[in-house]
């Protein structure tokens, strides 16, 4: 009998009797505290970015009930995480760890296996364990958001320390880095900037990586490698451990910054622009990740819905976009380059002059004078993000459709004009055929070019949702045929993406599976994450 009346029949993991499952949940509740274990028996509420659900994907692309948790548990310490892991091994119950569950566009907080127990680390494990103002480092738990870290640095009066933030500041510093997330200061590659992990393994041991393995060390956050194999990598985008602590380098205030915006009129300008960007970015004259945006997203960033611009069916017509851009303060344009240079005036001016000279080689290129833009303009949000101040302005484009949802196509290419153009043409072909709208952003980390193609849909429209999933699948396949692979993907697309990394008879996945079976013999941790299935799930119809 349920302990209390249920408003929704909770999903239960396959392979365990419903009654047995609830007895096991009672046991967990006794161990972690009744108030720290919640059964997912309420109607599913999608919330919004600042109040994301931890029971399912708030932007579900298939039926919401497909990827739901049976229950959510809130540990307060590494010790409690170990207890949860031991419990899961005893009953063979799948766990799905999240830090804050704001992984929108990639599956949110949803587990890949219906009925898994979500381990929501963020709610009670949210301490900033250290900020070292001399070394410029920090050590955080999973529930520390960019906002929280930013505020704490301010509160402590460390004026010389910056953080690096992604487009939205509500995510977890640790969770974002584990999924290879990115931001926009020179410290934008979050994984590259980490130093040291504490991990609970799927069998319940606690490991500290790098210098953290040396008792009494004072170097955990300053030297990531320690001694011996560098194992940190296997805990990112994986299901080999639950990360309970993570260290990061923090960027010192560079002594000033200046953001700039250039516009490029024609679709084909992308090729020349990317050729110009490559040497400048590799040489770090372009100081932060290059951000080349398609103008349609600029319309959406106004915060107005699509219907304010166009009421017709099908993909948004490019002529309409040009028409609106003519009237926009940025002027007629297809591509916009948002960038920032850092350092005292005399240092950044040298770089800004080179950038100006090079960018203006593209016929029709224009520099937008920031002084002409009102304080509410999106440019100022980019300026904040690029100087390490968390912001939420970027959410505006999600409201393009009522009940907006999005799913990302994120392939990686070399920073070459021909590759950028090829990806652009491919994306355009598919989105035009699907009748959906895409917001495209080419981001150059250092040597590589990421296309972040966000397909936006109305979450309440099943046809749009299934179209979006279908177009993603076609894009992944065509990209792979042309030699491009995704750096990150939605939960439901993980098997397909993992399948494209198939060199030498799937040698990489064979290796990943060997690791999985060795580290997680009972297959309890995030089965299916990144396409890695434990032995007891493999070949039983889970892979899609
Ligand atoms: P979580 O959702 O908590 O974690 C992400 C995943 O990592 C989890 O699903 C889980 O599989 C794994 N994980 C998390 N914690 C642990 C743990 N402790 N142990 C083991 N595994 C764990 N992302 C960017 O990177 N850059 C951007 O600029 C960006 N812009 C965005 C703009 C918009 C408008 C939107 C809607 C999203 C954007 N995102 C961006 C995507 C996303 O919102 C962020 O990456 C966000 O930080 C991820 O959510 P989170 O930090 O709460 O991580």
Give the pLDDT score at 421: 97
DSSP assignment of 282-323 equals HTTSS-S-EEEEEHHHHHHTTT--GGGT---SSSPPHHHHHH
The DSSP string of 78-115 is HHHHHHHHHHHHHHT--EEEESS---TTTTTT--SSTT
pLDDT at 4 over 90: no
- CATH fold of 501-544 reads Vanillyl-alcohol Oxidase; Chain A, domain 4 (1.10.45)
Q: Which residues pair with 339 in a beta bridge?
A: 260
Domain boundaries, the chain: 18-120, 128-249, 257-489, 501-544
Determine the pLDDT at residue 19: 94
Residue of 58, 119, 166, 401 best suited for mutating to test ligand 1, as the one with most atoms within 8 Å of CB = 166
Each residue of 248-294: pLDDT tens digit? 999 999 999 999 999 999 999 999 999 999 999 999 999 999 999 99
Give the position, in ligand 1's atom list, of the atom nearest the Cα of 488.
Answer: 25
User: HSE on the CB side for 324, CA within 13 Å?
Assistant: 19
**Euclidean distance between CA atoms 422 and 479, whole angstroms:** 10
Q: pLDDT tens-digit profile of 381-399?
A: 999 999 999 999 999 999 9
Cα–Cα distance list, 189 to 172, 183, 444 (Å): 15, 7, 11
**Could you tell me which residues come within 8 angstroms of residue 440 by beta carbon, excluding any fewer than 6 positions away?**
293, 294, 296, 297, 424, 427, 451, 452, 453, 454
Tokens found for residue 109: 């907080």
Q: Which two tokens stand for residue 150?
A: 């930013």
Segment 129-144 mean pLDDT: 98
Quote the crossing angle between the two packed helices 462-481 and 417-434, to the nearest 10°: 150
Query: For residue 361, what are its two tokens?
Result: 């080689």
Q: What is the residue-averaged pLDDT of the chain?
A: 96
Tokens in use for 164?
Answer: 């690096």
Residue 8 pLDDT level (bands cut at 50, 70, 90): confident
**Residue 403: is its pLDDT beyond 70?**
yes
Query: What pLDDT is recorded for position 168?
Result: 96
Ligand 1, from 58, 171, 202: best to mutate by most atoms within 8 Å of Cβ?
Answer: 171
| ipTM rounded to 2 decimals | 0.99
> What CA–CA distance (Å, rounded) separates 458 from 455?
10
Sheet harboring 37-39: ordered strands across? 37-39, 71-73, 117-120, 95-98
* Lining residues, ligand 1, CB within 6 Å: 97-105, 121, 142, 166-168, 171-172, 174-176, 178-179, 181-182, 242-243, 394-395, 398, 529
User: Is a pLDDT exceeding 70 seen at residue 433?
Assistant: yes
Atom nearest to 99 CA in ligand 1: 3
pLDDT of residue 522: 98
What is the number of other CB atoms lying within 10 angstroms of the CB of residue 267?
Answer: 15
Residue 268 CA to residue 270 CA, distance in Å, equals 5
Q: Reply yes or no on whether the pLDDT at 5 is more than 70.
A: no
CATH fold, domain 18-120, is 3.30.43
- Catalytically active residues, by annotation: 106, 487-488
Considering the domain 257-489, what is its CATH architecture?
Answer: 3-Layer(aba) Sandwich (3.40)
pLDDT exceeds 90 at position 298: yes
Residue 1 is predicted with a pLDDT of 46
CB 79 within 8 A of CB 126: no
Q: What pLDDT sits at residue 250?
A: 98
- Contact between 534 and 509 under an 8 Å Cβ cutoff? The reply is no
User: Percentage of the chain surpassing pLDDT 70?
Assistant: 99
381 Cα–ligand 1 center, Å: 20
Q: Which fold has domain 128-249?
A: 3.30.465
pLDDT per residue as tens digits for the range 178-224: 999 999 999 999 999 999 999 999 999 999 999 999 999 999 999 99
Residues 6+ apart with CB under 8 A from 36: 29, 73, 74, 75, 76, 124
Kindly give the pairing relationship between strand 411-414 and strand 128-132.
unpaired
Q: Whose CA is nearest to atom 25 of ligand 1?
A: 181
Distance 110 CA to ligand 1 centre (A): 12
User: Pick from 106, 57, 62, 177: which is nearest to 497 by CA?
Assistant: 106
Cβ burial 317-351 (10 Å sphere, 16+ → b, else e): eeeebeebbeebebebbbbbbbbbbbbeeeebeeb
Question: In this model, does residue 226 exceed pLDDT 90?
Answer: yes
pLDDT at 120 over 60: yes
Q: How confident is the model at residue 3 (pLDDT cuts 50, 70, 90)?
A: low
Q: Which pLDDT band, with edges at 50, 70 and 90, does 409 fall under?
A: very high
């Amino acid at each position: 009998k349920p302990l209390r009346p249920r408003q929704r029949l909770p999903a239960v993991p396959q392979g365990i009797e419903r009654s047995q499952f609830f007895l096991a949940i009672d046991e967990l509740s006794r161990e972690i505290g009744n108030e720290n274990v919640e059964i997912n028996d309420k109607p599913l509420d999608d919330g919004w970015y600042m109040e994301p659900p931890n029971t399912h994907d708030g932007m579900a692309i298939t039926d919401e009930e497909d990827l739901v948790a049976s229950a959510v548990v809130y540990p307060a310490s590494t010790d409690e995480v170990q207890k949860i892991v031991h419990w899961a091994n005893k009953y063979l119950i799948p766990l799905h760890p999240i830090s804050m569950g704001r992984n929108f566009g990639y599956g949110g907080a949803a587990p890949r296996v219906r009925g898994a127990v979500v381990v929501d680390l963020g709610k009670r494990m949210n301490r900033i364990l250290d900020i070292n103002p001399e070394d410029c480092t920090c050590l955080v738990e999973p529930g520390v958001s960019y906002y929280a870290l930013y505020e704490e640095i301010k509160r402590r009066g460390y004026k010389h320390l910056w953080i690096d933030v992604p487009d939205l500041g509500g995510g977890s510093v640790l969770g974002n880095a584990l999924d290879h997330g990115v931001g926009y200061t020179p410290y934008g590659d979050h994984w590259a900037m980490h130093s040291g992990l504490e991990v609970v393994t799927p069998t319940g041991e606690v490991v500290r990586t790098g210098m953290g393995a040396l008792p009494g060390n004072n170097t955990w956050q300053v030297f990531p490698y320690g001694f011996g194999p560098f194992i940190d990598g296997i805990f990112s985008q994986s299901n080999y451990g639950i990360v309970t602590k993570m260290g990061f380098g923090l960027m010192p205030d560079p002594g000033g910054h200046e953001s700039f915006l250039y516009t490029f009129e024609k679709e084909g300008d992308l090729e020349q622009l990317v050729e110009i960007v490559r040497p400048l970015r590799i040489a770090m004259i372009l100081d932060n990740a290059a951000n080349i945006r398609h103008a349609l997203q600029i319309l959406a960033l106004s915060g107005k819905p699509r219907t304010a611009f166009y009421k017709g069916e099908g993909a948004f017509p490019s002529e309409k976009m040009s028409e609106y851009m003519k009237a926009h303060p940025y002027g007629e344009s297809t591509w916009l380059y948002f960038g920032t240079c850092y350092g005292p005036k005399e240092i950044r001016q040298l770089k800004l002059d080179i950038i100006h000279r090079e960018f203006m080689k593209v016929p029709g290129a224009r520099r937008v004078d920031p002084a002409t833009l009102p304080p509410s303009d999106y440019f100022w949000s980019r300026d904040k993000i690029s100087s390490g101040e968390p912001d939420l302005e970027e959410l505006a484009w999600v409201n393009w459709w009522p009940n907006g949802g999005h799913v990302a196509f994120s392939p990686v290419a070399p920073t070459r004009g021909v590759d950028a153009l090829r990806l652009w043409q491919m994306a355009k072909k598919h989105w035009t055929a699907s009748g959906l709208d895409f917001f495209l952003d080419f981001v150059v980390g250092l040597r590589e070019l990421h296309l972040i193609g966000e397909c936006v849909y109305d979450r309440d429209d099943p046809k749009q949702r299934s179209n979006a999933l279908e177009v993603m699948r076609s894009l992944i396949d065509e990209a792979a045929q042309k030699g491009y692979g995704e750096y990150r993907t939605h939960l439901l697309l993980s098997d397909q993406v993992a399948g494209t990394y198939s060199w030498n008879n799937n040698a990489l996945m064979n290796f990943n599976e060997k690791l999985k079976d060795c580290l997680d013999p009972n297959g309890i941790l995030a089965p299916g994450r990144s396409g890695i299935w434990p032995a007891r799930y493999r070949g039983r119809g889970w892979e899609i």
